[in-house]
Amino acid sequence: MSLTEIDRIHALLPHWVESSRQQCSYGKVASYIPELSKSPIGALGIHIIDASGHSVSAGDTEISFTMQSISKVFTLILALMDIGEEAVFDKVGMEPTGDNFNSMLKLELVQPGIPFNPLINAGAIAISSLIAGASSTEKSCRVLDFLRLLSNNDSLSYDLDVYRSESDTANLNRSMAYFLKDNGVLEGAVEDVLDVYFRHCSISVTCADLAQMALVLAHNGKNPLTGEQLIPRRYVQIAKTFMITCGMYNASGEFAIQVGLPAKSGVSGGILTLVPGRYGIGLVGPSLNRKGNSIAGVALLESLSREFDWSLF
Ligand code: GLN
């Protein structure tokens, strides 16, 4: 009997996790959000799930971590579902920047002064203001409920220590938000918008939660386990395109060449990625490279993509 791909992944994964883990010592954990500096620098874990619910995991998959920028993919999708493409892209552009995720540089330089894309901080803050809801609390509840639905995990919640730590120290994001408000990009009170943003960044997940969310994107918005269409196909297409072009910040070009899959990373060291039509993948490795992506996580995905010929290109 020949081995299926998932059997081969199962056989190879523990070894690859251990060899990729060696990269951790060349990176650093994020410290600009003080609470994140407590993350375990040597950790690496990955969970892969297929359309029939078979899963494989290896490494430190028991640890919880905050979604950070990974949540931006889903606030974008929710805003698209709430108000449609035209209204969303009236406030946020569609182009990569080549700058750091928290850069303000081009906001003033390039007209019409709207953020370049929904995955940089300025764009995601603008998206937070577009989520439907009568108050910031209602908007935040809608985001959390949406992620609970996609992850099939009703107990998904916030890491309040990370939330407070970011909210107390976010001078740069705060200045960006006030700048956006002045440009007429943000709807509503700036601090309310920021609260929605900090809350969705601090949603606590495991690799399995991310893999489950990614599985829905891998199947064009349908949960293959239940057959339920959770997101319109068009909005998944938009989200996956941004993941390819901007998902790994200003390393997205290199990641597209070396791995070739739609992905989104966060400063907690999480990466959500997927093999279209096949797998949802969640991983965590808090030690980051200079561009802010998990150093060991990227190495592990490069090995997997090469071995199983997963690149879309
Ligand atoms: N909450 C983080 C911030 O705004 C998210 C950034 C990230 O994950 N790259 O700085």
Going across the sheet that includes 270-275, the strands are 55-59, 45-49, 279-284, 270-275, 263-265
> Any bridge partners for residue 205, and if so which?
65
Asked if the 69-201 domain carries CATH number 2.60.40.10, the reply is no
Cβ-based neighbours of 277, under 8 Å, separated by 6 or more: 218, 219
202 Cβ below 6 A of ligand 1: no
- The answer to whether the beta carbons of residues 78 and 131 sit under 8 Å apart is yes
Query: Is the pLDDT score of 90 beyond 70?
Result: yes
CATH superfamily, with its number, for domain 5-66+204-308: DD-peptidase/beta-lactamase superfamily (3.40.710.10)
Q: How far is the CA of 202 from the centre of ligand 1 (A)?
A: 9
The predicted-structure confidence for 115-163, as pLDDT tens digits, reads as follows 999 999 999 999 999 999 999 999 999 999 999 999 999 999 999 999 9
Q: How far is the CA of 179 from the centre of ligand 1 (A)?
A: 18
Predicted confidence at residue 244, as pLDDT, reads 97
Q: How far is the CA of 147 from the centre of ligand 1 (A)?
A: 18
The preferred substitution site among 35, 37, 68, 196 for testing ligand 1, maximizing ligand atoms within 8 Å of CB, is: 68
The predicted-structure confidence for 279-301, as pLDDT tens digits, reads as follows 999 999 999 999 999 999 999 99
101 Cβ below 6 A of ligand 1: yes
103 Cβ below 6 A of ligand 1: no
Residue 179 vs residues 72, 114, 185: alpha-carbon distances, Å: 20, 10, 9
Q: How far is the CA of 201 from the centre of ligand 1 (A)?
A: 7
Counting from 1 in the atom list of ligand 1, the atom nearest the Cα of 265 is 8
269 Cβ below 6 A of ligand 1: no
Report d(CA 35, CA 157) in Å as an integer. 17
Domain positions in the chain are: 5-66+204-308, 69-201
Band of residue 71 on the pLDDT scale cut at 50, 70, 90 = very high
163 Cβ below 6 A of ligand 1: no
Q: Are strands 222-223 and 263-265 parallel, antiparallel or unpaired?
A: unpaired
Instruction: Find tokens 């990227």 and name the residue.
Output: 298
Which active-site residues does the annotation give?
69, 72, 197, 249, 267
- The answer to whether the beta carbons of residues 292 and 270 sit under 8 Å apart is no
The predicted-structure confidence for 12-24, as pLDDT tens digits, reads as follows 999 999 999 999 9
* Global model pTM greater than 0.85: yes
Band of residue 2 on the pLDDT scale cut at 50, 70, 90 = low
DSSP letter for each residue of 89-102: HTTS-----SS-TT
Residue 222 vs residues 38, 88, 142, 229: alpha-carbon distances, Å: 36, 23, 19, 4
Report d(CA 209, CA 272) in Å as an integer. 10
Domains 5-66+204-308 and 69-201 share a fold: yes
201 Cβ below 6 A of ligand 1: yes
Specify the 3-state DSSP secondary structure of 196: helix
Cβ-based neighbours of 134, under 8 Å, separated by 6 or more: none
Q: How far is the CA of 151 from the centre of ligand 1 (A)?
A: 21
The preferred substitution site among 35, 102, 163 for testing ligand 1, maximizing ligand atoms within 8 Å of CB, is: 102
The predicted-structure confidence for 253-264, as pLDDT tens digits, reads as follows 999 999 999 999
For all residues of the chain together, what is the average pLDDT?
Answer: 95
Q: Smallest Cα–Cα separation from 166: which of 42, 267, 44, 43? A: 267
Report d(CA 69, CA 73) in Å as an integer. 8
Backbone angles phi, psi at 65, to 5 degrees: -150, 165
260 Cβ below 6 A of ligand 1: no
Cβ-based neighbours of 182, under 8 Å, separated by 6 or more: none
